[in-house]
Amino acid sequence: MLKINDLRVALKEEDKQILKGVNLEVGAGEVHAVMGPNGSGKSTLSYVLSGKGGYQVTSGNATLEGADILDLEPEERAAAGLFLAFQYPVEIPGVGNMTFLRTAVNAQRKSRGEPELSAAEFLKEVRAKAKSLKIDAEMLKRPVNVGFSGGEKKRNEILQMAMLEPKMCILDETDSGLDVDAMKLVAEGVNALRSDGRSFLVITHYQRLLDHIKPDVVHIMAGGKIIKTGGPDLALEVETNGYADLLAEVA
Amino acid sequence: MAIVQAKYDSAEALIAANPAPGGVKWAIQAQAAAQARLREMGAPHRRDEYWKYTNPARLVAEIAQPAALFKADEERPFAEVDRLRLVFRDGVFDPEDSDPLELAGVEIEPLADVLQKDIHWAAMHYGQLEANGQNPVPRPMAALNTACANTGFVIRVTGKAAKPVSMVYLHRNETSDITIRHLIRLEEGTDFTLLENGPAAARLNKVMEVDIADGATFNHVRAQGRDHERQAATHMFARLGKESSFKSFTLTINGVLTRNEAVIEFTGDDAHATVAGACAGDGDFLHDDTVFITHDAVNCESRQVFKKVLRNGATGVFQGKILVQPGAQRTDGYQISQALLLDDDSTFLAKPELEIYADDVACSHGSTCGAIDETALFYLTSRGIPRTQAQDMLTLAFLGEAIDEIEDDAIADDIHARLEGWMERRHG
Ligand SMILES: Nc1ncnc2c1ncn2[C@@H]1O[C@H](COP(=O)(O)OP(=O)(O)O)[C@@H](O)[C@H]1O
Ligand SMILES: [Mg+2]
């Protein structure tokens, strides 16, 4: 599904290398977790994959289902099936959440040559999906993320993911700032989307999210590289021992 | 010295070129008094502090610069709103094309008729708000308007108006240079909505005086017409009585030069006024909002909300002042002016001012100027929305905060649709 090959990324504005050779391969239907200390480049990786400006790819590449994505515009990557649940969802005053969702869904359908959803079809679908994430009608009407609590913002990300039905979902610290109940809700939302054709890259600080979203593979990222890859046990190891030992191992 | 003389010479030239229409005694007196005011203050000059950002040369030029007619005729403006339609062609009222001047709760008379009536309520009011509004800053184009206007309506609202009055200002002659004047009085506890649409002429001088008695409500929405080369100087003078409400919104799309002044005075307690504007300019476009709000009563609230989207060398100007007089306690004054610059060639010039002589007052003002928010843009595009569409969404959202000031949803939707059209046309 997603293949990242020796990806090296620097900031455009200043001479600073952030990703220093990331290698990662997520197979179809798999769930991979990426853990690592703050500042190790996890968010940068998710931004570079989804096409945020300000970064310079100095070498390496990334493919989605075999096709290079790093030269595509963000909207083209989205249409190709990539989705990023933001660590910090963006507030957009003046744009209604519902309008935003419908515009996004229909833009993607259009770019894939599919007919647009009618207002009624869209409404039916969004209501059902919002309900299972405990997102009420009021939240759908409000401007995108404006005045949402931390938990509401994260649930809103999952709602977007559910509506857009991407192939490759990247979740950047979707669990941070959530209480246990909210985290369960989010995890249920993610699990409901798991399927053979859909893969997940779950970036997290804590093992606890992985109790709910069971990963197939766990990667540890530090200093802009994947320093260790293993099974679900690796997450437990980090939970008990912290990153110090792992960092010492590679140093 | 030379500048000063130029102002007076220019005022003389304006008076000579725009003779008073006359009428009965009070009308002649009002026109003469206005001419005297104009002579005393002189015509606007680019060296005047109040015209620092907007060169008035084209407004005072002896011969108006012609303006090509806009090809695509304006889709029927405010078509979704049940309204009384009054149509002007290059400043001439066209009764054939208009609805009859009959509306429950409202008396409507052409200004030209009223100027000929010895006994009329307008005799006491015509030019009064304009004259009051000349202090502390002179507004010569408004004085000129009083001195020469012969077209427009005199409107007295005596109840709750059955529906809005919609003035449609068609521009059919490339060289038309016109003056329009409305005088509106809302009696106590009445309610009236005025809609205005269209460029009116190649060059327009328009003044509206609105006197709002206690407990009355006035709503005003106008769209200034899409002709690219049109020029306009407009003034809106409003006086608010106790517990009254005034809300005015203006949409400006295109026009080479537009100066809109609003002069509002609170004379009764517990009243509310909103002046809002959205403008979109592309290319040779200068839009100037100049607002002066005087709080001279207790517990009144004023809001100024101005949003401008500019590209291709367009210029936006905002001069907004809140003056709180001694004793005007518990005044709440809010003012925001913002420009969204879609490229590096465009300019926004803002001069917000507060002058406060009371101590229990909450006044705030903010002015910002910036490009489209890249973070928001990335968020939208990352969901599959193409960049240009995402830009349009953010641009509309930006202007939407001014449109939100419109009271009526159907009217707000009409304005929204026009801005969407503007953006679509940019993508050709
Ligand atoms: N736009 C930026 N400007 C400056 N430094 C940045 C920028 N983006 C990322 N960094 C730096 O790159 C490193 C990795 O950041 P990030 O990807 O956010 O890490 P993580 O998500 O793993 O906490 C940090 O040292 C961070 O300060
Ligand atoms: Mg991060």
Instruction: Please give the full DSSP string across A32-79, using - where no structure is assigned.
Output: EEEE--TTSSHHHHHHHHHT-SSEEEEEEEEEETTEE-TTS-HHHHHH
* Band of residue B281 on the pLDDT scale cut at 50, 70, 90: very high
Question: Which pLDDT value is given to residue B74?
Answer: 59
CATH of the domain at A65: 3.40.50.300
Which of B382, B386, B401 minimises the CB distance to A50? B382
B1 has pLDDT over 60: no
Most ligand 1 atoms within 8 A of CB, residue of A9, A16, A18, A88 to mutate? A18
Kindly calculate the radius of gyration of chain B based on its CA atoms and give it in whole angstroms: 21
The one-character DSSP state at B396 is: H
Residue B379 corresponds to which tokens in the numbers above? 């968020």
Chain A interface test: which of B373, B382, B401, B413 (most A C-beta within 10 Å): B382
Chain A interface test: which of B377, B381, B396 (most A C-beta within 10 Å): B381
Whole-number Cα distances in Å, A82 to A100, A133, A204: 18, 21, 19
**Which chain B residue's Cα is nearest to A73?**
B381
In chain B, % of residues over pLDDT 70: 98
**Ligand approaching nearest to the C-alpha of A40:** 1
Q: Is A194 helix (H, G, I), strand (E, B) or coil?
A: coil
Question: Which pLDDT value is given to residue B52?
Answer: 95
Q: Which residues in A lie closer than 8 A to residue B379 (C-beta atoms)?
A: 86, 89-90, 92, 144
Residue-range definition of the domain harbouring residue A208: 2-250
Ligand 1 neighbours, Cβ below 6 Å, are: A 11, 18, 36, 38-44, 54
**Which chain B residue's Cα is nearest to A109?**
B384
Question: Which pLDDT value is given to residue B154?
Answer: 98
pLDDT digits (tens, 9 = 90+) for A80-90: 999 999 999 99
Instruction: Enumerate residues 6+ apart whose C-beta is below 8 A from B385.
Output: A75, A103, A104, A107, B393
Average pLDDT over every residue of A187-202: 91
* Band of residue A35 on the pLDDT scale cut at 50, 70, 90: very high
Query: Which residue, B145, B161, B160, B170, is CA-closest to B86?
Result: B170
B75 has pLDDT over 60: no
pLDDT digits (tens, 9 = 90+) for B208-228: 999 999 999 999 999 998 889
Question: Which pLDDT value is given to residue B223?
Answer: 94
CA of A224 to the centre of ligand 1 (A): 10
Average pLDDT over every residue of A109-119: 89
Question: Which pLDDT value is given to residue B303?
Answer: 97
- What total number of domains does chain A contain? 1
Taking the alpha carbons of B103, B105, B111, B114 in that order, is the dihedral positive or negative? positive
B73 has pLDDT over 70: no
Q: What is the pTM of this model?
A: 0.90
Q: Let me know: does B379 contact A91? Beta carbons within 8 Å.
A: no
Put simply, the answer to whether B383 touches A78 (Cβ < 8 Å) is yes
Question: Which pLDDT value is given to residue A186?
Answer: 86
Q: Return mean pLDDT, chain B.
A: 95
- A247 to chain B, minimum CA–CA distance in Å? 33
Put simply, the answer to whether B375 touches A95 (Cβ < 8 Å) is no
A9 has pLDDT over 90: yes
pLDDT digits (tens, 9 = 90+) for B121-138: 999 999 999 999 999 999
Average pLDDT over every residue of B346-365: 95
pLDDT digits (tens, 9 = 90+) for B368-425: 999 999 999 999 999 999 999 999 999 999 999 999 999 999 999 999 988 888 888 8
Query: Which residue, B346, B339, B287, is CA-closest to B317?
Result: B287
pLDDT digits (tens, 9 = 90+) for B169-206: 999 999 999 999 999 999 999 999 999 999 999 999 99
Question: Which pLDDT value is given to residue A246?
Answer: 76
Q: Return mean pLDDT, chain A.
A: 90
Kindly give the number of the ligand 1 atom that is closest to the alpha carbon of A87. 21
Which of B382, B390, B396 minimises the CB distance to A84? B382
As a whole number of angstroms, the distance between CA B143 and CA B420 comes to 37
B257 has pLDDT over 60: yes
Query: Which residue, A112, A71, A76, A170, is CA-closest to B381?
Result: A76
